[in-house]
Amino acid sequence: MGERPVILVLLGPPGAGKGTQGERLLRRIALDHVSTGDLFRDAVTTGSPAGLRAESYLHSGQLVPDQVVLQVIEEYLGVARGRDTCFDGFPRTRNQAEKLDDLLRQFNLAVTAVVYINVPDDVALARLLSRGRADDTEETARYRLQVYHEDTAPLIDYYRDAGVLIEVDGSGGVEPVAQRVWTSLQEAIR
């Protein structure tokens, strides 16, 4: 897109459609769509140092500690030099966001834009429950939304203060949301 690689972050509650909108962006622009889950699986498969550290947490079902998550991100950035990237579901906490900024600076990069897909809780809950996944019971979905509000929602102000937040109305169908994301993003990355 430009001389400096574009680094995007997709932000929003569970059920906002971050993964779906990330896939839509891939159809419009060439970028790496990066989820930490994919990075963990790749790191474990290749036997990287971070992958070896993450593996025990993944097999036990525990959350992977920030230090290991960031090591996996650092390994990715070392390999992906110069590629436009969209982080999906990362960072999840202010600490992760600050550490991501530090890592990006080491590679002479910075977050270009954060696409915040704003969806009311009732809509997010309905979407989570309609997916039909075994782990999306109402209790689990409500808990995930609670964790989002406690840990991840503060990133909205963090990125707004940094001047990179793009807020998009995430209600409605996939295509209208995708069009709003694309229109807003084009203005931000010019």
Give me the active site residues, please.
18, 92, 131, 133, 144
From CA 190, how far away is CA 143, in angstroms rounded? 38
Q: Residue 7 forms beta bridges with which residues?
A: 85
Asked whether the CA dihedral 54, 56, 61, 65 is positive or negative, the reply is negative
Contacts of 106 (CB under 8 A, 6+ apart): 74, 77
Q: Between helices 66-79 and 94-106, what is the axis angle to 10°?
A: 30
**1 vs 18: CA distance, rounded Å:** 22
